[in-house]
Amino acid sequence: MPTFLKSTTGPRGGVAQFSKYKSGQSYGGDITGIRSNFGCFNGAGRGYLLPFTNKSASPVSFDRIMWYNSAADSDNLRLGVFADNGATPVGGAALAQGAIAMSGGAADNALTINITLTPGQLVWLIGMSDASITGDAITPVVGAGYMDWTAILQDALGAFSGTAAMRIDNSYGAFPDPFSYSGGPYADSLIPNMRLRAT
């Protein structure tokens, strides 16, 4: 399960009050809890995007991007980490991406990566399956002292209300680099449990 982090950043990055990431631990967005076995992330070519910021005052390296699945799905999953370009939703270059076969049970599905994020750097975690899968959904924090998840999505989507992930439509396959999409972006009430593992 992810560690819950509290930040003092603005919606597009900045150094925060989190001093150290622990090696071998996985970290997601600022979240309040997990709704286990909550959501069906529907259909091939439907991608989910989550903002992630390095909240420490030092560069941090990560060796896995992870999606926790809570059912016995045995489909294929594409995962990626993309830079934020400060303009269009996501829109930046790929830092890492690849495909894995899902484990077929309730477990983390992890792609090996090798990235280093600078202090305050905002990136986007992206996940897409080739069929409907059942995953844990998370509930982000929106409040003082936390990464302003709503503001990030408002900035990215142009219009946004409520608590949600950003979703796009693309043909299932390698993500375009720099990132682009054929449909969306949309606000989606399901937020998948995606994290990065620190080295």
Average pLDDT score over the chain: 74
Domain boundaries, given as residue ranges, for the chain: 26-198
Identify the weakest region by mean pLDDT among 20-24, 63-67, 142-146: 142-146
Is 142 a residue whose pLDDT tops 50?
Answer: yes
Percent of the chain with pLDDT over 90: 20
CA distance 160 to 166: 10
Is 2 a residue whose pLDDT tops 50?
Answer: no
What pLDDT, on the 0 to 100 scale, is given for residue 67? 87
CATH tag, 26-198? 2.60.120
Burial degree of 109 (CB within 10 A; 0-12, 13-18, 19+)? buried
For the beta carbon of residue 78, count every other beta carbon within 10 angstroms: 21
What pLDDT, on the 0 to 100 scale, is given for residue 139? 65
Which range in 42-56, 79-93, 145-159, 170-184 is most confidently predicted, on average pLDDT? 170-184
116 pLDDT band, cuts 50/70/90, is very high
Identify the weakest region by mean pLDDT among 10-14, 45-49, 75-79, 162-166: 10-14
Is 62 a residue whose pLDDT tops 50?
Answer: yes
What pLDDT, on the 0 to 100 scale, is given for residue 105? 73
Best CA proximity match to 81, nearest among 92, 72, 73, 89? 92
Segment 5-45, tens digit of pLDDT: 333 333 333 333 355 788 998 887 665 555 555 556 666 78
CB within 8 Å of 197: residues ≥ 6 apart: 24, 25, 26, 27, 62, 63, 64, 65, 66, 110
Strands 122-129 and 76-84: antiparallel
